[in-house]
Structure 1
Amino acid sequence: MQSLLRWGTERGAKHSCLQVMQDNAPALRLYEKLGYKEVYSYWYRIRPMST
């Protein structure tokens, strides 16, 4: 992650964002250590199966 962030910064990126499932605790811990904060929640909509 740090290499990817550095690569983006070297190419002019000022911001980054991630999407992660709320039940992915290891990823959430990593991203928090890297300084990421939750900005909004996202959810998937699934069309009900027709019978």
Structure 2
Amino acid sequence: MGSPSDLGGVRIEHFEYVPCRVPEWRVRWEEPVDLDTPPEIPVDAQWKLFPTD
């Protein structure tokens, strides 16, 4: 499950994994029109945000 984080980005939680926080560009809230199109990745993108809490 993902939800907006107070620290920015999106906090992802699942009982089988360690919680993490990711930038908003990594999350799609709606299904894309073309599932074969890759996501747009910003130049020098961060993949995980720290701290997580």
Which has the bigger relative contact order, CA under 8 A and spacing at least 6?
Answer: 2
TM-score in terms of structure 2 length: 0.21
Query: Larger C-alpha radius of gyration, 1 or 2?
Result: 1
More strand by share: 2
TM-score by length of 1: 0.22
